[in-house]
Structure 1
Amino acid sequence: MAKNSGGGCLVVVLVVGLLAFGYYKWQHGSSSAAPEGVETGGGSGRYVALGDSYTASPHTGQQVGFPGGCLRSDDNYPHLVSADLKPAEFADASCSGATTANLTAAQKTSNGTNPPQLDAVTAKTTLVTLGIGGNDVGFLQLASSCATAHRTASPCKDRLTAGGHDQLAAQIDATAPKVGAVLDKIHGKAPKAKIIVVGYPTVLPDGDGCWPVLPVGAGDVAYFREALGKLNKMLEDQADAHRAGYADTATPGKGHDVCTASDTRWVEGVIPSLHAAPLHPNARGEQGMADAVLGVLKLPWS
């Protein structure tokens, strides 16, 4: 009996220790400036969404908001999160094509100018989601030039890593302090806000891809898959370093990449089969991203 009792105590100690460690990891990566009792939902609080086209979600639903050139849809993940939480106020400032610079400076679009996205963040703001960085790195612009007639080719990797210098990795490193500076500005404008950095979902599958449906050679598929992983790791690290939470959308998005069936995929291919922009999340993907954000909000947060 004594032996069993000791073993039970050991299990309890281990469980409590693991829970405490998990709680610490979340606290370390969350907004410690958010005081107890400040909530977003149930008719209270102000939720502001900031981000690029993966946040705005062009063509997945009915276009909403101004300017029209931002191509925000009414079923993007911010709208889905807002519908679930039901805050007193909700502002979606996201805009297709946005970079970190457009969070503090106006963005001209093909149809109107979007004000600096941070203008939507006020002292009353209690929740901010931020999905940004991909356009700073230039992922979509680069991907559009990688089409090849050869299944195993890697024209983009060969060009972007010539001379032993990885241009994509360098761009990711250069974007890190820009993301960190934005998070600091959000804290300064909204000291009561919880901030969640939203990562990018899984776009490319493990393995060689699905050439010619996705006309990118195996070498470039591997190169861009690894680079997107580095981008998400950078975003997670910046969230951790600047008192924000991180919504991992890549892990739940595995098995829902551009090469999967139309009733499974979260991200459309070069020629979308569902309503979405090429190489962007469809409505199913936006729901998956919303679920990731809502999951983070359920974790302990001081």
Structure 2
Amino acid sequence: MPRTGRRTRARLALSALGTVAALTAGVVTPASAATAAEPRPRAERYVALGDSFTSGPAIPRQVDSRCGRSSANYPSLVRNELAYSGFTDVSCGGATTDHMWKRQGATGNAPQLDALGEDTTLVTVGIGGNDIGFPEVIGRCINPVGPVPRDNPCQRYFTRNGTDELDQRINETAPKVAALLKAVHERARHARVAVVGYPAILGDDIEGCRKSMLVADGDVPYLRGVIRRLNAMLRVQATARGDLYVNTNATTFGHDACQPFEKRYVEGLFTRPWVRPAIAFHPNAAGERAMADAVAYTLVLGPRR
């Protein structure tokens, strides 16, 4: 792959995480959830909040090109599967917890919490990755120019001061998530709330990660640990309030971006948009279906153990 091509793909991935204003346009849901679900009463309304892992950038059909929001993202699939008559999806690429209260300048998306109301009976929340700096992590940890190292330059960078900076960011994001969940309950007093974790992005196939993501060998387990700790924080914040936590790792495990192209639910750096439209380092359509599977399973049958 020419070096300029690698740089271009890296820029596109960072753009998708930071803003999707310029974007243009598997898994079967569990039979137990589908058969258990009955049509919801007309008064019930589902509202989805979140970032690009929720919105589904580039996945057909795009219904909001500024936010990279797809009609085949997991909120839309959950709405269809569980037959909610009322549905509002305000997820938007590049969103942080701040954008739950504030307008998102890059896209013009209104504060996501504004979508909630007394008639809201289900809220899903998928947020936190941009708070800890997903775009910066990608920029630092992939190696689009030159050979991919065998050691762990990314880990050394983020621990250069003797502490793990990404762990600190996760800890600093925890009270923001707690405040968000409190605000959700204040605005939607009758709603069930489910915090949706991030899917399996990196697996344990070191050579696969080198080829697909251009991540150094020693950084693969480090970054996998960062996602695991981010999800653990989201689980703690959800359960502390008595809310549901959705473990999307369970339905995407073994289909991470380091797997062969045909098996991936999350894309690597080298996407094939003519075969499977999706953005680098994000879930593709099968990944969104797998995440919908996890949400529906949790809502109907309870959290996976």
TM-score per shorter chain, which class?
A: 0.7 to 0.9
TM-score, length of structure 1 as denominator length: 0.82
Aligned match for 1:283, one of 276, 281, 285: 285
Q: Which whole-Å deviations, capped at 9, do the CAs of 1:105-127 have from their partners, x for residues lacking one?
A: 10022xx4000000001011000
Cα offset, 1:198, TM superposition = 0.2
1:1-302 equivalences in 2 (<5 Å): 41=40, 43-65=42-64, 68-109=65-106, 112-148=107-143, 149-210=147-208, 211-273=210-272, 274-299=276-301
Do the aligned partners of 1:47 and 1:91 also contact (CA within 8 Å) in 2? yes
Aligned residue identity for 1:260: Q
Aligned residue identity for 1:169: D
Query: Equivalents in 1 of 2:207, 2:125: separation in Å?
Result: 29
Aligned counterpart, 1:30: none
Do the aligned partners of 2:43 and 2:119 also contact (CA within 8 Å) in 1? no
Q: Which whole-Å deviations, capped at 9, do the CAs of 1:240-297 have from their partners, x for residues lacking one?
A: 0122101100122110001112222110001213211110000000000001000011
Return 5+ residue gaps in structure 2 as ranges: 1-37
Query: Equivalents in 1 of 2:42, 2:293: separation in Å?
Result: 20
Identity of aligned residues (%): 43
Q: Per the alignment, do residues 106 and 254 of structure 1 end up closer, same or farther by CA in structure 2, a change over 3 Å counting?
A: same
Do the aligned partners of 2:46 and 2:120 also contact (CA within 8 Å) in 1? yes
Do the aligned partners of 2:250 and 2:294 also contact (CA within 8 Å) in 1? no
**SS of aligned partner of 1:70:** coil
Radius of gyration: which is bigger?
Answer: 1
Q: Which whole-Å deviations, capped at 9, do the CAs of 1:176-201 have from their partners, x for residues lacking one?
A: 01001100001111111000000000
Q: Which whole-Å deviations, capped at 9, do the CAs of 1:35-75 have from their partners, x for residues lacking one?
A: xxxx982544000000000000101111114xx31110110
Aligned residue identity for 1:279: F
**SS of aligned partner of 2:161:** helix
Cα offset, 1:151, TM superposition = 3.8
Number of aligned pairs? 259
Return 5+ residue gaps in structure 1 as ranges: 1-38
Q: Per the alignment, do residues 166 and 46 of structure 1 end up closer, same or farther by CA in structure 2, a change over 3 Å counting?
A: same
Cα offset, 1:145, TM superposition = 2.5
Q: Per the alignment, do residues 96 and 166 of structure 1 end up closer, same or farther by CA in structure 2, a change over 3 Å counting?
A: same
Runs of 4+ aligned structure 1 residues displaced above 4 Å come to none
